[in-house]
């Protein structure tokens, strides 16, 4: 159903919480697309400099603060999404097949270049020097004196918090529940199976790359291609570069699609101006939300550095998980009579563990990230009480009855 966790929150926790999580999802998906588009631009640079092109773009075109390449790919994909789901889905299916083939190539071809010495120390000690372009900035826990410096055991959780946005695509599986024949069986199987496969592939690729290149010498911008360049495998590096471009393109496409659908659902509920819920008569897509999303994401990718975007994506995603888990507990107690195609097992233990795990990872993000997230939420509340609360569908129904409803 359009809107993902926003729609679930609307049904279970009410309009205000739905607005908060919808506003949060807009941050998560838009910044996620901007983040991976920045990564796309770095692999584009690797491909251009390799044979047969041997081209070199001016440094200012790809620099943080004016990344034209990242902005351009976002606008192109937004245009593709406007052409309809059939076209974009067909393109995405081909791209995903290419992506899986490249992942297999990295694992198989890279194993023979692993040097066991690169795994020592397997867990770098706290205070170790990061790779060029990396960062060892302190997290909120470290700033509060509750954890040691970057790297070490605490660094594992910091890394988990940073890489978390790689898994937000599993939310897209849940949004397609209405289109499955047996959601109570098919959706959990799809989520857990894809999660297991992707986790194994992520771990395998990480072990291969860090075995080929020591952790403090990895190229943060384009690690896969440059790992093969470091062992003089230029042909494989070029193939991997092309594959990475294809894979990242599919991620941008999915995130832009998700963002535009959340935008569409909020507009349809009149929490945002209803003009944005217009659907193209020719292509059947919410073209206005898609175009606005594309322009905003392109601007974010153009102006903001990769690491800043990644941290904001993660805190937004984790906060959404917290609210959804709380909503599951609340709905089970408030409406035990509802028919449920799928019931969360181990209630309420599993949702409580989900809340605690998400909060723990949030604490392992930087203090500045919390400040930026807090500002975004305050802006969202200002928009809600200044516009959405008075114009929503609930407000219309309340005005037709006995006064506007309380948020």
Residues 336-385 have pLDDT tens digits of 887 776 778 888 999 999 999 999 999 888 888 898 899 999 999 999 99
Q: Which pLDDT belongs to residue 379?
A: 95
Average pLDDT taken over every residue of the chain = 83
- C-alpha torsion sign, points 207, 213, 215, 221: negative
Q: Which pLDDT belongs to residue 148?
A: 61
Q: What is the DSSP string of 263-301?
A: HHHHHHTTSS-GGGG---TTT-S-HHHHHHHHHHHHHHH
If one compares 127 and 212, the residue with the highest pLDDT of the two is 212
Region for residue 346 given its phi and psi (left: phi exceeds 0; alpha: psi -120 to 50; beta: otherwise): left
Say whether the peptide bond before residue 57 is cis (omega within 30 degrees of 0): no
Q: Write down the pTM of the prediction.
A: 0.78
Domain coordinates in residue numbering, the chain: 29-305
Contact 255, 81 (CB under 8 A): no
Q: Is the pLDDT of residue 404 over 70?
A: no
Q: Which pLDDT belongs to residue 179?
A: 53
Least reliable range by pLDDT among 74-83, 224-233, 306-315, 384-393? 306-315
Domain 29-305 of CATH type 1.20.1740.10: yes
User: What phi and psi, each to the nearest 5 degrees, are found at residue 134?
Assistant: -85, -175
Nearest CA to 220 out of 117, 118, 136 is that of 136
Q: Report helix angle 234-268 to 85-111, nearest 10.
A: 150
Q: Is the pLDDT of residue 134 over 60?
A: yes
Q: Report helix angle 15-49 to 306-334, nearest 10.
A: 150
C-alpha 190/C-alpha 174 separation (Å) is 9
Least reliable range by pLDDT among 115-119, 143-147, 297-301, 396-400? 396-400
Contact 31, 293 (CB under 8 A): no
């Amino acid at each position: 159903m359009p809107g993902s966790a926003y729609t679930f929150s609307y049904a279970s926790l009410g309009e205000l919480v739905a607005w908060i999580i919808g506003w949060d999802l807009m941050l998560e998906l838009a910044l996620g697309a901007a983040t991976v588009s920045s990564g796309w631009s770095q692999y584009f640079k690797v491909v251009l400099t390799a044979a047969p092109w041997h081209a070199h773009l001016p440094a200012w075109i790809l620099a943080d603060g004016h990344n034209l390449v990242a902005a351009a790919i976002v606008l192109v994909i937004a245009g593709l999404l406007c052409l309809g789901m059939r076209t974009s889905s067909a393109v995405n299916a081909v791209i995903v097949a290419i992506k899986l083939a490249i992942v297999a190539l990295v694992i198989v071809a890279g194993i023979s270049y692993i040097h066991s010495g690169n795994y020592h120390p397997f867990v770098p000690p706290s205070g170790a020097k990061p790779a060029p372009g990396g960062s060892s900035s302190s997290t909120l826990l470290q700033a509060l004196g509750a954890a040691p410096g970057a790297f070490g055991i605490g660094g594992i959780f910091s890394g988990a918090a940073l890489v978390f946005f790689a898994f937000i695509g599993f939310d897209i599986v849940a949004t397609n529940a209405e289109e499955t024949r047996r959601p109570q069986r098919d959706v959990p199987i799809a989520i857990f199976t894809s999660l297991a496969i992707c986790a194994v592939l992520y771990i395998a690729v990480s072990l291969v790359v860090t075995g080929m290149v020591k952790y403090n010498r990895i190229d943060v911008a384009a690690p896969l291609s440059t790992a093969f360049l470091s062992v003089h495998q230029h042909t494989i590096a070029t193939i991997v570069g092309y594959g990475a471009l294809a894979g990242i393109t599919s991620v941008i496409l999915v995130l832009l699609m998700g963002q535009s659908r959340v935008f569409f659902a909020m507009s349809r509920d009149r929490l945002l101006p209803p003009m944005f819920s217009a659907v193209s008569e020719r292509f059947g897509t919410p073209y206005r939300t898609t175009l606005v999303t594309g322009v905003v994401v392109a601007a974010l990718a153009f102006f903001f550095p990769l690491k800043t975007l990644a941290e904001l994506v993660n805190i937004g995603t984790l906060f959404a998980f917290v609210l959804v888990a709380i909503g599951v507990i609340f709905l089970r107690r408030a409406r035990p009579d509802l028919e449920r195609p799928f019931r969360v097992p181990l209630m309420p233990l599993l949702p409580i563990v989900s809340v605690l795990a998400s909060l723990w990872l949030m604490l392992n993000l930087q203090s500045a990230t919390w400040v930026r997230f807090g500002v975004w939420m305050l802006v969202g509340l200002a928009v809600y009480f200044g516009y959405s609360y008075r114009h929503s569908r609930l407000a219309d129904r309340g005005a037709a009855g006995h006064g506007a409803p309380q948020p």
